[in-house]
Structure 1
Amino acid sequence: MSLVASTATTATAATAAAASPAAPSAAPAAAGGAGASVTATALPQATTFTQLSGLPQDTDTFGKLSGVVVHPVRTVAVHAQPGGKPAATLPAKQLGSLTWVPVVEARKGWYRVLLPSKPNHVTGWISAKGLKKARSRYRAIVKLGTRQLTVMKASKKLGTWTVAVGGPQTPTPVGRTFLLALMSPKKKTYSPLILPLGAHSQTLDTFGGGPGTVAFHGWPDRKVFGQAVTHGCVRVPARALKVLAGLPLGTPVLIAP
């Protein structure tokens, strides 16, 4: 398996976000708070390639997310507290896909969202002004102990599959995260699609030239399914990969022990 390497070796699976099956339909969120768009700034970007500091951690790492997801139509400021000094920025796109992030807390005119950066479970507040808002009825649940993936649509189970997870030295990180992007390798490789998550390996600072981003992806040898042998990613059967690729970006993913 491979953790996400870099955008130089991958391309998006969808040519236009509006037409992408992984982009949720959305309506503008209620406006409020300070102006959200940011142009030029020296602040770090909240992407899968960055390490952020000065922002709150998700304290309910195994809680069920509501499914509310938001998309910044432009780069927006990320704050440690609503209306506070910006600590980072969140771009409208990353890894070739539109940025959709799940909401973990809401206040009037503000959303606290899960971010795709290191450390795992980092969150930040963004102004509701200039965001698009949607709700994903889907969620994906990975149980490391049984090495199973289940995909749900509301209360309906879309399927359960036996998968391969991280090995003893490179475990798959636990907690709640989300589908960050949908990518397709330019060259034929171990998987036709790679779905990066908003989480990183906690034992590998980098892998394959990239930041150690954990992802769902396929694998050509079915013998690996049911084993703890990966570098942190979750290898899934072809049918499971097809179902995952149809989920909206920002969809909650829970990785349980």
Structure 2
Amino acid sequence: MPPASARRRWLPLAIAAATLAAAALVLVLVMGMDRTPVTPAAAPASPVATPTATPTPTPSETGAPVDATSYDVSGLPAAEVYSVIPALPVDADPGAALPGLLATPASAAIPVFAAPGEAPVAQLPQAQTYGGTTVPVVERQTNWVRVLVSGRQGTPPGGNPAQLSGWLRASDVTLTEDATRVDVSLSARTVSIVTPAGTETIATDFGWGAAATPTPLGRTFIMHTAVVPSFGYTRGHPLVYLGVQSPTLAGFSGASVAVTAFHYHDAHSGAISNGCLRLDAAAIDRLAQLPLGTPVVVTG
């Protein structure tokens, strides 16, 4: 062991050395803490642009303005098979394309107009004995539809018995989409049912009106379908009555009307009838399945 004097000289040095070592350790720890990596703050998210909604364009109206008048139609003639209504026009454009719509009155009886904006000249009931209440649309506007209706403007030989038409307010009817029609070609001797899916030719020969009692040309519609047992020539098959009448006969077989119809007859080939279209059994039964109001277009 060193002498006491030597120990007295070493002790202060040892204490000083220990103090310096402790200070160095603290400095290392502090420097180490300062070197701890700092995670950088996330950059602020870019703002998301909200797309501006494109306004839906308001469809523009076509045709005549709306007519909201409440009409009393009880005193007006019904557009039905026995009526003669001089104020209603005949179909002015029988070769025009059809929009594929059927119209039915939405109430018990609705006004029929010769032209939009005028006073009504007839009524179309919701129900009639001989049909004619579901009618084809031949022209459509926003507030109005032009349709074919039963009856005549006049009787032959002095009056015009061609297919009648009239205007209905769109708010007065229920519209049904149906693009089915019947095409009759006298020259080709064909009767065809035309739908968006295709053409079904149901007759390649049939009977039509003789020269003195021709079948009316142009467009009309299926007005009424019925089996009439007293008409023995139909052999129990239905008659499909049309909304147009003979161009030459004021009446027929004691009646005051001369309605054109599809029906069965044993003789059903060529220009042999009083204006009706005579078909075989399969063809007339097929036509009888079509809904009332289906357009029928007859060409020469």
AA matched with 1:213:
V
Partner residue in 1 for 2:138: 104
Q: Given the alignment, which residue of 168, 180, 190 partners 1:148? A: 190
Would you say 1:54 and 2:54 are equivalent positions?
A: no
Further displaced range: 210-219 or 170-179:
210-219
Partner residue in 1 for 2:243: 198
Shift of 1:137: 2.8
Among all aligned residue pairs of Structure 1 and Structure 2, give the percentage whose two residues are the same amino acid.
33
AA matched with 1:53:
P
- Structure with more of its chain in helix, by fraction: 2
Separation in structure 1 between the aligned mates of residue 128 and residue 291 of structure 2, nearest angstrom: 15
Instruction: For 1:233-248, list aligned pairs within 5 A.
Output: 233-248=276-291
Gaps of 5+ in 2: 1-65, 153-160
Separation in structure 1 between the aligned mates of residue 71 and residue 279 of structure 2, nearest angstrom: 38
Separation in structure 1 between the aligned mates of residue 223 and residue 141 of structure 2, nearest angstrom: 24
Q: Given the alignment, which residue of 240, 254, 257 partners 2:297? A: 254
Q: Given the alignment, which residue of 256, 264, 274 partners 1:218? A: 264
Separation in structure 2 between the aligned mates of residue 106 and residue 61 of structure 1, nearest angstrom: 15
In the alignment, is the contact (CA less than 8 A) between 1:36 and 1:77 conserved in 2? no
Separation in structure 1 between the aligned mates of residue 150 and residue 257 of structure 2, nearest angstrom: 11
In the alignment, is the contact (CA less than 8 A) between 1:92 and 1:98 conserved in 2? no
Shift of 1:239: 1.1
- Root-mean-square deviation (CA, aligned residues, Å) is 2.0
Instruction: For 1:72-91, list aligned pairs within 5 A.
Output: 72-73=105-106, 74-91=108-125
Larger relative contact order, structure 1 or 2 (CA cutoff 8 Å, min sep 6): 1
Would you say 1:178 and 2:221 are equivalent positions?
A: yes
In the alignment, is the contact (CA less than 8 A) between 2:218 and 2:299 conserved in 1? yes
In the alignment, is the contact (CA less than 8 A) between 1:71 and 1:98 conserved in 2? no
Shift of 1:55: 2.5
Further displaced range: 227-236 or 44-53:
44-53
Shift of 1:37: 7.3
Gaps of 5+ in 1: 1-31
Q: 1:214 to 1:95 in 2, by over 3 A?
A: farther
Further displaced range: 244-253 or 61-70:
61-70
In the alignment, is the contact (CA less than 8 A) between 1:116 and 1:199 conserved in 2? yes
- Structure with more of its chain in strand, by fraction: 1
Separation in structure 1 between the aligned mates of residue 165 and residue 219 of structure 2, nearest angstrom: 12
Partner residue in 1 for 2:201: 159
Return the index of the structure with the highest Cα Rg. Answer: 2
Partner residue in 1 for 2:170: 128
Shift of 1:81: 1.7
In the alignment, is the contact (CA less than 8 A) between 2:136 and 2:148 conserved in 1? yes
In the alignment, is the contact (CA less than 8 A) between 1:204 and 1:212 conserved in 2? yes
Separation in structure 2 between the aligned mates of residue 249 and residue 166 of structure 1, nearest angstrom: 23
TM-score (norm 1): 0.79
In the alignment, is the contact (CA less than 8 A) between 2:100 and 2:180 conserved in 1? yes
Partner residue in 2 for 1:227: 270
List per-residue Cα deviations over 1:70-125 (Å, max 9, x = no partner). 01142111111223111111122233446111111222221111111113232111
Separation in structure 2 between the aligned mates of residue 47 and residue 158 of structure 1, nearest angstrom: 30
Separation in structure 2 between the aligned mates of residue 36 and residue 70 of structure 1, nearest angstrom: 20
Count matched residues: 222
Partner residue in 2 for 1:207: 252
AA matched with 2:139:
E
Q: 1:164 to 1:70 in 2, by over 3 A?
A: same
Separation in structure 2 between the aligned mates of residue 248 and residue 101 of structure 1, nearest angstrom: 10
- Secondary structure of 2:223's aligned partner: coil
TM-score (norm 2): 0.69
Shift of 1:196: 0.8
Partner residue in 1 for 2:44: none
